[in-house]
């Protein structure tokens, strides 16, 4: 029993990590119709920024518990600095182009950001281990788990709920939903679509940065970490339905838990199971689990 519980817990931790990435990705797609490959770089930037800022905090001898605030600060910085830079500086000039063109533009942005990361931080890995080990361990059966995993799960749940609340319960959120539903009508009704785009991209970037910042203490922050995560996040978003927040949550949970069981009982098929889930979902629901019905335009 405790073994199943441990597998489920591993799955949920992995899902939380996936969800933080997928939420930003699906939000940006939902509003802007952009499959943002640069999301992977924003994740990496979040991780590097966290390693630098929280590392400097700890090196200066401040209270270790403050390093968690530094992780959050790193995420915010990535969101408010890099997000608008990419949206205003690059994407804005491409709106109205075909989705495939925009996909290529974000791929170009991804490559540029990867090189920028290399220029700033070099190719050596960066380590930030204190926040991971600081809260100590807890046990499920005989297995020890760092409590930091609980931080990850909590942040993912809070982020998801806050996003849902902001989207469905606030005026700004409803404006955003209107743009998701129909950009042209929204613009005609007086919604400042340009501003909505900027806010959405900034928020999405912040989520990617948050994913990276919270992952930084558990990994060696090194070149290429954004590549792996973007492929997985796309799988999650496709399973959930492009543009759906609930879909991203369920997709992440499904992929995370199925993968966790595969690792334990069928390790040869670990990677297969992730994409197997995606294939099965797409056979049953070609637009993902929670895709919104599309209005036919004449």
Partner 1 sequence: MTRLLLAVLVALSGVSAPTVAAAQQPIKIGIVTFLSGPAAGPFGVPARNAAELMAETLNAGTVPAPYATKGLGGNPIELIIIDEAGGPQKQVAEFRNLAQRVDLIVGYISSGDCLAIAPVAEELKKLTVLFDCGTPRIFEDASYKYVFRTGPHATMDNTSAALYVLERNPNVKSIAGINQNYAWGQDSWVDFEAAMKALKPGIEVKTSQMTKLFAGQFGAEISTLLSSGADVVHSSFWGGDLEGLVLQGAPRGLFKNHLVVLSAGEPAINRLGAKIPDGTIIGARGPFGPFAPDTALSRWFRGVFQERYAVAPNYASYKMAQGILGVKTAYEKAKAGAASPNQDQIIAAFEKLSFEGPGGMVHMSLGKGHQAVMDVAVGTARTVGGELRIVDVKRYPADRVNPPEGVKSEAWIKSGFKK
Distance CA 41, CA 285 (A): 30
95, 107, 132, 275: residue in contact with partner 1 (rule CB under 8 A): 132
Gap between the Cα atoms of 295 and 298, Å rounded: 10
CB 109 within 8 A of CB 41: yes
Q: Look at residues 282, 268, 205 and name the one whose alpha carbon lies nearest to residue 238.
A: 282
**HSE of 16, CA atoms in CB hemisphere, 13 A:** 22
Q: Contact between 263 and partner 1 (CB under 8 A)?
A: yes
Contact string (CB under 8 A) for partner 1, positions 156-195, x = contact = ----------------------------------------
Q: Tell me the C-alpha distance between 209 and 148, whole Å.
A: 18
Residue of 95, 91, 84 lying closest to 209 (CA atoms): 84
| Min dist. Cβ of residue 207 to partner 1 (A) | 18
Residue 146 in the binding site for partner 1 (CB under 8 A): yes
Answer for which of 13, 42, 151, 203 binds partner 1 (CB under 8 A) is 13
Of residues 193-252, those binding partner 1 (CB under 8 A): 215, 218-225, 227-229
Residues 67-96 touching partner 1, rule: CB under 8 A, are none
- Angle, nearest 10°, between helix axes 193-215 and 171-181? 100
Subset of 104-123 contacting partner 1 (CB under 8 A): 115, 118, 122-123
Nearer Cβ to partner 1 (11/243): 11
Q: How many CB atoms lie within 10 A of CB 294?
A: 8
Longest dimension (CA), the chain: 64
Task: Indicate whether 55 belongs to the interface with partner 1 (CB under 8 A).
Answer: no
Between residues 212 and 243, which has the closer beta carbon with respect to partner 1? 212
Note the residue count of the chain.
Answer: 298
The stretch among 7-15, 25-33, 70-78, 171-179 that binds partner 1 (CB under 8 A) is: 7-15
Using CB under 8 A as the binding criterion, the count of chain residues that bind partner 1 stands at: 45
Number of H helices, E strands in the chain: 13, 2
Please report, as ranges, the residues that interact with partner 1 according to CB under 8 A. 3, 6-7, 10-11, 13-14, 17, 115, 118, 122-125, 127, 129, 132-133, 137, 142-146, 149, 215, 218-225, 227-229, 259-260, 263-264, 267-268, 270-271
């Amino acid at each position: 029993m405790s073994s199943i519980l441990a597998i489920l817990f591993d799955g949920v931790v992995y899902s939380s990590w996936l969800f933080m990435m997928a939420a930003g990705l699906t939000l940006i797609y939902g509003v802007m119709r952009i499959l943002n490959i640069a999301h992977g770089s924003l994740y990496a930037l979040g991780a590097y920024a966290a390693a630098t800022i929280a590392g400097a905090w700890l090196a200066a001898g401040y209270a270790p518990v403050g390093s968690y605030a530094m992780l959050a600060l790193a995420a915010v910085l990535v969101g408010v600095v890099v997000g608008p830079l990419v949206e205003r500086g690059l994407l804005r000039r491409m709106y109205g182009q075909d989705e495939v063109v925009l996909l290529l533009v974000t791929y170009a942005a991804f490559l540029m950001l990867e090189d920028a990361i290399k220029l700033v931080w070099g190719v050596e890995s960066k380590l930030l281990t204190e926040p991971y080990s600081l809260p100590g361990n807890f046990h499920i059966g005989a297995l020890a788990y760092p409590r930091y995993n609980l931080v990850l799960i909590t942040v993912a749940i809070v982020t998801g709920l806050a996003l849902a609340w902001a989207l469905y319960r606030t005026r700004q959120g409803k404006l955003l939903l209107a743009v998701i539903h129909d950009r042209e009508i929204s613009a005609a009704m007086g919604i400042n679509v340009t501003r909505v785009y900027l806010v959405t991209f900034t928020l999405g970037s912040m989520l990617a940065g948050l994913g990276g910042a919270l992952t930084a203490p558990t990994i060696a922050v090194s070149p290429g970490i954004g590549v792996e995560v973007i492929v997985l996040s796309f799988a999650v978003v496709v399973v959930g339905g492009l543009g759906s927040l609930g879909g991203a949550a369920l997709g992440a949970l499904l992929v995370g838990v199925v993968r966790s069981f595969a690792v334990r009982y069928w390790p040869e098929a670990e990677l297969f199971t992730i994409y197997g889930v995606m294939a099965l979902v797409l056979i049953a629901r070609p637009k993902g689990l929670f895709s919104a019905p599309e209005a036919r335009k004449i």
